[in-house]
Amino acid sequence: MEKTIKLNNGLEMPMVGYGVFQIPEDQTKEVVTAALNDGYRLIDTAAGYLNEEAVGQAINESSINRDEIFLTTKLWVQDFDGDNPEKAIDGALKRLNQDYIDLLLLHQPMGDIYNAWRAMEKAVKAGKVRSIGVSNFESFQVQDLMMHNEIKPVVNQIQINPLNPENDNVKWLKGNDIVPEAWGPMGQAQAGIFTNPVLVKIAKAHNKSVGQIMLAWNLERGVVVIPKSVHPDRIKENFDVFDIDLSDEEKQEIATLDQHNSYFKGLLTPQTVKALGSMKFDYKN
């Protein structure tokens, strides 16, 4: 199983990363440090997570060379219009205390995404950002974005797990040389996923945890994963997945778990778009 994947701009991205969504800032430095020490080289944060500063501190105080770490952050919707994207990119660099960002994503497919994307393209040319992509976009939105802009997204970060495998989107993204990246690769512990009989049986057969099986299943599909945990043993466990080789029969069993429904459902409803588009975060650019 490969540990990195080549993006369409030639950069190598780690297949297993550490996500810091909903981790309080005062805890973030400690857990990111633990993740780095356990072998993670992809760290995923966002302006809206309000913990970029702590992520940057952990990276800067690590003994690991900066060029070995793949740092992802995201712009929030409130910064998509006018000259706000440029200010937001500089603000992220300042909060992270970094000279560059490896991957910058549009966090949601709403607001003035074209204005923000073109500012991100300029940031790539200026050397502030190495690669750019999107998060929570439907494939038709990715298609539209790349048809009317210069730089093609390298990644679409969406919810992907055995109960919501996003088969059509994963196939389309890979067919267009865009890497699918899974947030919530263990289903955010929804719908009894950790006690699912099929996954429990497969986990026992491999002497692994259910979480490890879910991560390996995504990796074998060419999907990057960014599991999150604040528990040291779980952080270590989630990185110990590269020796898992699922059989065709096991993959077929997991395929039967598709519920054709994301727990993050309703994103495309007017109510949800209004709520997310109106959400403001108090961070300093």
Q: How buried is residue 78: exposed, middle or buried, by Cβ count under 10 Å (0-12/13-18/19+)?
A: middle
The pLDDT score that the predictor gives to residue 153 is 98
Where helices occur in the chain by DSSP H, the ranges are 25-37, 52-61, 84-96, 113-125, 139-147, 167-175, 197-206, 210-220, 232-239, 248-255, 270-278
Q: What pTM does this model have?
A: 0.96
Q: How buried is residue 119: exposed, middle or buried, by Cβ count under 10 Å (0-12/13-18/19+)?
A: buried
- Could you tell me the end-to-end alpha-carbon distance of the chain, in angstroms, rounded to an integer? 40
The pLDDT score that the predictor gives to residue 262 is 63
* % pLDDT > 70, the chain: 98
Contact 25, 53 (CB under 8 A): yes
pLDDT digits (tens, 9 = 90+) for 17-72: 999 999 999 999 999 999 999 999 999 999 999 999 999 999 999 999 999 999 99
pLDDT digits (tens, 9 = 90+) for 111-139: 999 999 999 999 999 999 999 999 999 99
Residue 250 within any structural domain of the chain: yes
Residue 284 within any structural domain of the chain: no
The pLDDT score that the predictor gives to residue 144 is 98
Residue 202 within any structural domain of the chain: yes
Residue 146 within any structural domain of the chain: yes
Q: What is the mean pLDDT of residues 72-99?
A: 98
pLDDT digits (tens, 9 = 90+) for 255-264: 999 987 665 5
**Residue corresponding to tokens 């430095």:** 29
Which range of residues forms the domain containing residue 97? 4-278
The pLDDT score that the predictor gives to residue 272 is 86
pLDDT digits (tens, 9 = 90+) for 188-236: 888 889 999 999 999 999 999 999 999 999 999 999 999 999 999 999 9
Residue 285 within any structural domain of the chain: no
Contact 27, 84 (CB under 8 A): no
Alpha-carbon distance of 40 to 70, in angstroms, equals 9
pLDDT band at 283 (very low <50, low <70, confident <90, very high): confident
The domain total for the chain is: 1
Q: Specify the DSSP element, H or E, that contains 73.
A: strand 70-75
Point out the residues that are catalytic. Answer: 49
Residue 283 within any structural domain of the chain: no
Q: Is the pLDDT of residue 79 over 90?
A: yes
pLDDT band at 174 (very low <50, low <70, confident <90, very high): very high
Q: Is the pLDDT of residue 271 over 90?
A: no
* CATH number (domain holding residue 261): 3.20.20.100
